[in-house]
Structure 1
Amino acid sequence: MRYKHSLRTRVAFAFAMCVAVLSVVWGFAFVAAVRLSEDRVMTQQLQHAAESYPDLTSNLRGYDNIDGLPEPLREWAQTNPNFGLHEFESDELHVAVVPADNDQQRAFVVFDVAQIEADSAEDWWLLLIITGVVGTLGALGFGLGVAVMRRSIAPVAHLAKAVADIDLEHVSAEDYKRIDSTRFGDDEVGLLAAAIEKNLERINAFVERERYFTSSASHELRTPITVITGALELLAQRDLSAADAKVLDRIKRATLEMRTTIEMFLCLARETDAGLDNEQFAVVPLVTDAIEQQRYLLHRKLVNISVEEHASPTINGYPHAFAIAVNNLVRNAFEYTLDGQGPIVIQIKAQELRIYNQVSNGKSEQSAQSDESASHGYGLGLGIVERLCERNNWSFSLLTDRQQVIARLGW
């Protein structure tokens, strides 16, 4: 539905109309209440006069002296009350004190309302009727306001429902039709629909690119690494000098790091697979493999490794992602532990894996280097582990001080 005016104008107009209608209704209600009160007083007075016929008595009388006043007023009148109006609710009398002819004495005009005021039961019924009318008008006003406002913001609600029904993983042509900006006019809602439509197209294009990348990158990136690994294995079978063997060993480690990096980012980029995410695997073998793969980092370092197996847990999840997380933590612990700063303690418990490594050996210079290395080493690796844990519903925490670093991976 297209509108000629903007949403702001429509809402303001609807609010003004609602207030105007309610004001008119309340005005008529108050006028009717005043007229009802007047008619009620006149009816009561006329009824009192009819009951006294033919001896018509007046409820309004004047008194020039105090002795002529009704008994309840005589003692009060002797206190020289101020000029003006006075009310005595208990005696149902209204008194006006006015100056007499010589302006020194007081005259009294007494209005006896005992016969024209309704009894308490009638007052309660009248109050109940007024309360009912006021409540009804309030409910009608509330309903009118809700109806007017709902009609005014109907385009926003329609757009919100259309956006909520979109599945970003499977965007169809019907989804684009539901949020077509031309359906909402040129007002604020139309601008919002156009922005959502544009961003939806970008998101859909990004999802398609991600699907294409994750489906093809695995083969395209792993094939060169596999070729390099095979070539290195063939070279290792030849008689090499010590220098060549050292270079070959460095190439192997670099290739392993490249493979690990590729596996890491492919794991983070892949879409959820229920079959892989629910695979059952043991923790201890993965931790042992990670230690062996990263042991070369401790070459020429006098650092001991202590593995404490308090349990042999078996968990459900994606084993490759778990192996990547453990390899990152073990690599950081091995790489950024200085010579003589040991031991590195790896604890395997029923619900968690903990890795302790020292970052201070008492020497100020090495301690400063260790702190700097630890801070740098737990940067990218920490971010990768956190993302893996978040994606696989694991918990990760890192506690650091000047003495040691404690990495905890829970499941």
Structure 2
Amino acid sequence: MTTSSAESLTRKFAIYFTSIALMVGVIIYGLSLSMLYWLEDEVNRRLLEAASVTAINDFQIGATAPLVMTNSITAYNDFAQLPEKYQMLDTLPRGFLDEITGENEQGDIFVYRTDYVAEHTKFPLILIMNADTAELTEHEWQRISVFVFGVTSTLFLLFGYALIKLTKRLIQPISQLSDQLHTGRPKQRFHVPNDAVQEFHQLTASLNSYQIQIEQLIEQEHTFSRYASHELRTPLTIIHGASHLLQHNQAPEFQQRQQQRIIKAANDMQNTVDALLSLVKQESRQSASQLTRLLTESEILKFIDTAAELAQKKSVSIGLNMLAEPEITPPEAVLRMLISNLINNAINASDGGEITITVAENYIDVADQGRGLSETELHQQGHGLGLLIVNALCQRYGWQFDLSDAPTGGCVARLTFAS
């Protein structure tokens, strides 16, 4: 299948509309001259018809033929008085009024054939007009033709100019957008001329919006990859280090402590893997939302215990306000990653004080008394690696994640879900 570029489309438009313009110009030129010819003949016919009334009156009061009425019109009331070159006019029917193209010395004439009554006798009436003196000369017709041709050519040029401007407004924005797409420059913003039609500006705005979304998604993907790598490498490092320590110290208490570190790190890595795999499962959100479970206080307390060591180092206490035990759809591994990330971010943003976790019928709040949100966090441009995975998991299960400054200081992270 052959495809056409915008430039070839412009050429096709130009050829197509030029052909139409030429055809319209020829038609206008032909119609204009034809109309002038008809108008000239019609004026001569009416002039003869009007002169016949005067000729009849003159013959009725005794005028004799040939009656010269003007320098181009002569009237006859007897066929015998017609000049030899006009003898063939006696065969014309009554009421004939038209131009006769002459041959040889006769020339072109206009003839009006009718009858009139004088002293109870019918007489024929023949009016002859010399067309050469009544009609426009060849030179005058040439001037008229040049004038009509000039007007037609001017209209053709104006039409062509309008066509070029219209085509430019329609095709040039497409060509520019195509060139900008082919360049493929990073962080490119598309633009079209200011005089382009509104639809092209809307298309450009949509392309720029999609470009920004693509850039954000790519950046989020890179950030997410770094986060996943960090979350998986940390427990592997703990397992690797604890395994080496087990080889150098055989004390039962030390070995038991290292074994607990290995088990905890393995569990954390398993939870991380389960949470990340939940993002790429091919099951639909509707089918996932049908699998609900009850969120209990003991489950939240387990999440708090995993962050107890970090909270102790920063002199931060963690409290739980269990207002309800809601039904939720995310499995324990996913919820652990959600809550743990929110708790860890709250601890990292605090230099003491208390973190309060509130569980209600349709939301979970994690409020701290730390430094509050940064400028980038206020504009939702990023909350760190941990909160990026929170956003991704919330989108997967149809939850809403919000981060805002608390009225009393610090910030509040809220997970909102359907009750």
TM-score if structure 1 supplies the norm length?
0.44
